[in-house]
Amino acid sequence: MTWITGVLIFAVGTLTGFFANRFLSLSSRQQQALQNELQQNQQEQDALKQELSNYLAGVEQSFKTLAEQAMQAAQTANTFGASVKASDSKGEDFIPYFGSDVSEGLKETKPVEQLSKTVQKSDETNAPLDYSAGNSGILVSEESK
């Protein structure tokens, strides 16, 4: 009888150990999988942080370059403005952008005020004719004649 009790205790212990190992190893596997996933997510986060810092550094460099270009443009505009103020011409001289022929043509053009007056006069003299009093009879059918 003692050996039957020993075998039963051994069998119960074996079954208990088997199920305990199975459940503990399952939670251990899950914990290991979660640990691996955490490490992977941390690596991805570090990579994204690095990308973001590189992007922001590039944006900062672009802004610095843009600020330098704006300063150069402002200096150029100031020197050009000073040179324009220094010249006493009032638009009567040659316009270097176009050419001598075009500049002469631009000098001969009329001011806008004179052109608008002539347009108003022509509108008054060339008003549309009023045909509401009678019809010409072209489109009247022969029966109604």
Predicted TM-score (pTM) above 0.95: no
Q: Is residue 92, in this structure, part of any structural domain at all?
A: no
Residue 43 domain-assigned (yes or no): yes
Residues of the chain with pLDDT below 50 are none
Residue 26 resides in a domain? yes
DSSP 17: H
- Measure Cα distances from 25 to 7, 17, 29, 31, 98 in Å: 26, 12, 6, 9, 87
Tell me, what's the pLDDT at 139?
Answer: 67
Domain that holds residue 13: 1-48
pLDDT value of position 82: 82
Output the CA torsion 95→99→104→105 (10° steps).
Answer: -110
Residues 83 and 75 sit within 8 Å (Cβ to Cβ): no
142 found inside a domain: no
Domain count, the chain: 1
In a domain, 22, yes or no: yes
Residue reference for tokens 């952008």: 97
Q: Classify residue 115: in a domain, yes or no.
A: no
